[in-house]
Amino acid sequence: MTPNDPTRIDLDALIELRRQAGALDLSSRPRVMTDLAGAHASGFRGRGMEFDDYRVYQPGDDLRAMDWRVTARTGTPHIRLYHEERERPVILCVDLRPAMWFATRGRFKSVCAAQAAALCAWAALENRDRVGGLCFDGDSHVEVRPGSRRQLLHWLHALSTRNAQPGQARPDAFAQLLRRLLRTARPGALVGLFSDFRGLGAMEAALLRKLGQRVELILGFAVDPIEWELPPAGRYPLIDADGQIAWIDTSQRTHRQRWTEQYRTRREAAESAARTCRAHWVELRTDRDPVESLSAALGRRRQVA
């Protein structure tokens, strides 16, 4: 798959990905979905559980279902009843903050993340799940609640209209995003977060861990090869969205070490968070096809003869 414009999120390209998404396997099955050492070896949890009603506690009921607020209000022990959702809600979230509009080869990290999210969305729809999405640029966000194909197309359109880059992201943007996901994602849902995970500190890691206790998580780590290794010593031009040229000097040893260390710290923080919240890890390199990256991490759907 070769995008028409590697610097822009194109709606037609996102819709066209439906042809390739059918090979991705998002179904429930007991297998390891991450190559991170020490990660929890569980497959997707499958359908979620939705609240149905209350009833008076009876001997033998699971105490974990006890609703203490209703019990305190009525003076009689009550438990919560649930029924299994026939369709699993799926929420795909794409980071469009300024740092994501960058690449030295392939496609921008933002484009790579959007395409990976679209692939998962189409695969989920093929699996008869309800699909919605969220995208944020560090200053504002667009959210589409999980639903049918119509909601999915609405979200893809929203993604394709967010090509304008914000001047500066709020310092707490990543934390605010995770709080929103905690408010909107139902227990048992599948949540995919596609980002370069800048701004992932202790508070954000704690929020991500809390989210992982409630939902199934896919973490797509967007990265460009220059982030882990600078090119040979020399002066190189970088062009921003306005066509302005800036030069970077890679000949200074201290600069090269600091550059590498910053990337290593950010990646280790993201991988540690993925292990802690039992997430499925997907590395999304700008110089690789997102279909290949997702297939390697999530597996391919079994072909029926």
What pLDDT was estimated at residue 164?
67
Which tokens belong to 200?
């992932």
The packing angle between helices 202-214 and 173-184, to 10°, is 20
Compute the average pLDDT of residues 210-230.
93
Is residue 302's pLDDT more than 50? no
CB 84 within 8 A of CB 49: yes
Compute the average pLDDT of residues 86-95.
88
Please tell me the least confidently modeled range out of 91-95, 144-148, 215-219, 239-243.
239-243
Q: Among 84, 108, 142, which residue terminates a domain?
A: 84
Residue at 303 is within a domain: no
Is residue 240's pLDDT more than 90? no
pLDDT band with cut points at 50, 70 and 90 for residue 52: low
Residue at 140 is within a domain: yes
Mean pLDDT of the chain: 83
Is residue 39's pLDDT more than 50? no
Compute the average pLDDT of residues 13-28.
84
What pLDDT was estimated at residue 161?
92
Residue at 2 is within a domain: no
**Do 164 and 58 share a structural domain?**
no
Residue at 6 is within a domain: no
| Alpha-carbon span 246 to 116, nearest angstrom | 30
- The domain in which residue 78 lies consists of 50-84
Residue at 40 is within a domain: yes
CATH of the domain at 186: 3.40.50.410
Q: Domain total for the chain?
A: 2
- The rounded percent of the chain whose pLDDT value lies above 70 is 83
Please tell me the least confidently modeled range out of 24-28, 49-53, 178-182.
49-53
Is residue 230's pLDDT more than 90? no
Question: What letter represents residue 18's amino acid?
Answer: R
**Do 225 and 123 share a structural domain?**
yes
Residue at 62 is within a domain: yes
**Do 237 and 192 share a structural domain?**
yes
**Do 163 and 15 share a structural domain?**
yes
**Do 197 and 239 share a structural domain?**
yes
SS (H, E, C) the chain: CCCCCCCCCCHHHHHHCHHHHCCECCCCCCCCCCCCCCCCCCCCCCCCEEEEEEEECCCCCCHHHECHHHHHHHCCCEEEEEEECCCCEEEEEEECCHHHCCCCCCCCHHHHHHHHHHHHHHHHHHCCCEEEEEEECCCCEEEEEEECHHHHHHHHHHHHCCCCCCCCCCCCHHHHHHHHHHHHCCCCCEEEEEECCCCCCHHHHHHHHHHHHHCEEEEEEEECHHHCCCCCCCEEEEECCCCCEEEEECCCHHHHHHHHHHHHHHHHHHHHHHHHCCCEEEEEECCCCHHHHHHHHHCECCCCC
Compute the average pLDDT of residues 213-231.
92
**Do 212 and 192 share a structural domain?**
yes
Nearest CA to 204 out of 169, 170, 179 is that of 179
pLDDT in tens, 139-170: 888 999 999 999 999 999 999 998 866 667 78
Compute the average pLDDT of residues 57-76.
84
Residues in the chain, total: 305
**Do 39 and 111 share a structural domain?**
yes
Is residue 205's pLDDT more than 90? yes
**Do 290 and 143 share a structural domain?**
yes
**Do 104 and 77 share a structural domain?**
no
pLDDT band with cut points at 50, 70 and 90 for residue 86: low
What pLDDT was estimated at residue 116?
97
Burial class (CB in 10 A: 0-12, 13-18, 19+), 218: buried
**Do 231 and 90 share a structural domain?**
yes
**Do 191 and 267 share a structural domain?**
yes
**Do 197 and 177 share a structural domain?**
yes
Compute the average pLDDT of residues 259-277.
93
What pLDDT was estimated at residue 152?
95
